[in-house]
Chains A and B, each alone.
Chain A
Amino acid sequence: MSRPEDTLPPDLFYNDVESRKYTTSSRIRSIQASMTNRALELLDLQHSSFILDVGCGSGLSGEILTNTEEVDGGPHTWVGMDISSSMLSQALERDVEGDMLLADIGQGVPFRPGSFDAAISISAIQWLCNAESTSEEDAPDRRLKRFFDGLYASLKRGGKAVCQFYPKNAAQRSMISSAAIKAGFGAGILEDDPETKNVKLYLVLTVGGGDITGTVSGLQDVDVMDARRKERQRNGTPADKQKGSKAWIMRKKAQQEAKGKVVKNSSKYTGRKRKIAF
């Protein structure tokens, strides 16, 4: 099956017919719900938060934020951005509680600095990898830069973002994650169900706060990619200097990747202590 991203720009692909089909499909609704719940788990919000939903579509992800129970840190208030007016019309029909902007995230994120506690994006940002036109300003790298720079600024210090996305290939995956890192984020990629056809990637981003495996509880399996991390561990040895530690492995991989070597995609198990077999 061809990727929708390769067929049309998002505002044309998600027309009235496609938007209705998308929003009413029970299969899609349940997949989007489970990924949104996973993203929320990774955000680990402690109290009712103000959240940006990037590529909010018809609000399938947003309504999970609205309906998060108090015991789970909710309910949250969200603002969505989406480029498809048909998707937003579906959201209106469904009476979602979030506010929405008809906007292209490749043009930036129009909120004042430190606006949001957190951001989520479910199945949207891979669209930025497709050129919107032949103009240089619309090239994917420019659009990714405007998006991640804007997202970074719109989050408060200590804020987090989790973006589930579907890269077409390893090049898109690293184009996206390196744009996030350049914007200043601490970044990691979590892979659920790796090496299956249901594999799901979550780009986990933090604003100004050291080791993301520490800031987000339950994130032991995240492949840390933030090369600029200077945080020292309690014993005084920087995490990525401890030979064999996960961070060290990731740093080595990053160095090799930087040299243009092909590095095996980090699996979920990279750097885990192995049981010793007798």
Chain B
Amino acid sequence: MKLLTLNFLTCARKTCKSTAAAFPLHPKDAELEQIEIDMNPLFVKNMLPRLEWEAMKTLTQELGLPALPAETPAPEELTTEDGEASQVLKDLHVLLMETSVASGKLVCGNCGHEYAVKEGIANFLLPSHMV
């Protein structure tokens, strides 16, 4: 599961909906993997304003990854003066698109429910009394 996706995923329980603590989910015993994919500058640019940067910072910190800048990078920072992909863009690409949680758990900060992740797939099936 890409870190990008983790920036959008919330707890599935009805009781957690619209509580601030249900997002972001917190990784536990997470194993990371790096999967190379082609860089898509336009996609990253499209997603940038939609990212919850605070959640991004929390996640990278909890995963023990290098600290992120304090604020969401600005769109202008994605290209160099000669129109090439900047280091900021390359870093964002690696972070959002290529870094993923291969296994472990995702824990809701509100209800404590643990969603298991195996082979990159998170199990969000809830027992019916939790729906």
**A binding-site residues for B, Cβ under 8 Å:** 47-50, 75-77, 79, 81, 83, 88, 92, 97, 99-104, 107-108, 110-112, 114-117, 133, 135, 137-138, 146, 156
| Total chain B interface residues with beta-carbon distance under 8 A | 32
Tell me the bound Cα distance from A83 to B126 in angstroms. 11
Min Cβ gap B101→A in Å is: 10
Per a CB cutoff under 8 Å, which of B8, B121, B124 touches A115?
Answer: B8
Q: Say yes or no: is B11 at the interface (Cβ < 8 Å to chain A).
A: yes
Contact, CB under 8 Å: A103 / B131: no
B residues 1-30 near A (Cβ < 8 Å) are 1-2, 4-5, 8-12, 14, 23
Contact B128 A47 (CB under 8 A): no
Chain B residues within 8 Å of A156, by CB: 50
Known: A92-B119, A108-B14, A112-B23. A99 touches B5 (CB 8 A): yes
Q: Are B131 and A101 in contact (CB under 8 A)?
A: no
Whether the pair A108, B131 counts as a contact (CB closer than 8 A) is: yes
Across the interface, do B12 and A107 meet the contact criterion of CB distance under 8 Å? yes
Cβ-neighbour of A110 out of B50, B121, B124, B128 (below 8 A): B124
B121 and A88 within 8 A (CB): yes
Task: Please name the residue on chain B nearest to A81 by beta carbon.
Answer: B124
Residue pair B46, A49 in contact (C-beta under 8 Å): yes
- Closest A residue to B35 by CB, please name it: A97
Residues of chain B having any CB pair with chain A under 8 Å: 1-2, 4-5, 8-12, 14, 23, 37-38, 40, 42-43, 46-47, 50, 52, 97, 100, 119-126, 128, 131
Given contacts A48-B43, A99-B100, A99-B120, 16 further A-B contacts (CB under 8 A): A49-B46, A50-B50, A75-B40, A77-B97, A79-B8, A81-B124, A101-B122, A102-B124, A107-B12, A107-B124, A107-B125, A107-B126, A110-B9, A112-B9, A146-B131, A156-B50
Task: Please tell me if the beta carbons of B43 and A77 are within 8 angstroms of each other in the complex.
Answer: yes
Q: In the bound complex, do residue B121 and residue A101 qualify as a contact, i.e. CB atoms below 8 Å apart?
A: yes
Q: How far is the CB of B72 from chain A (nearest CB, A)?
A: 16
- Once the chains bind, are A102 and B125 in contact (CB under 8 Å)? yes
Residue of A48, A50, A99, A100 with most chain B CB atoms under a 10 A cut-off: A99
Which residues of the other chain, A, contact B2 by a CB distance below 8 angstroms? 99
One of A50, A75, A77, A102 near B122 (C-beta < 8 A) = A102
Instruction: Name A101's contact: one of B14, B23, B37, B124 (CB within 8 Å).
Output: B124
Q: Is B128 in contact with A112, judged by CB distance below 8 angstroms?
A: no
- Given known pairs A102-B123, A103-B124, A133-B128, the reply for A47 and B23 (CB within 8 Å) is no
Q: Which of A107, A116, A156 has the most C-beta atoms of chain B within 10 angstroms of its own C-beta?
A: A107
**Nearest Cβ distance between residue A78 and chain B, in whole angstroms?**
10
- Bound: A104/B14 CA distance, A: 14
Q: Are B121 and A48 interface neighbours, CB within 8 A? A: no
Q: Name 19 interchain pairs, CB-CB below 8 A, sorted by A.
A: A48-B42, A48-B43, A48-B46, A50-B43, A50-B46, A101-B122, A101-B123, A101-B124, A103-B123, A104-B124, A104-B125, A104-B126, A107-B126, A110-B12, A110-B124, A111-B8, A112-B23, A115-B50, A137-B128
Q: Which residues of A contact B119 (CB under 8 A)?
A: 92
Smallest CB gap from A75: residue in B = B40
Q: How far is the CA of A135 from the CA of B129 in the complex (A)?
A: 11
Contacts A99-B2, A137-B128, A156-B50 given: A110-B10 contact, CB under 8 Å? yes
From A48, A112, A115, residue with most partner B Cβ within 10 Å: A112
Q: Which of A50, A97, A102, A137 contacts B121 (CB 8 A)?
A: A102
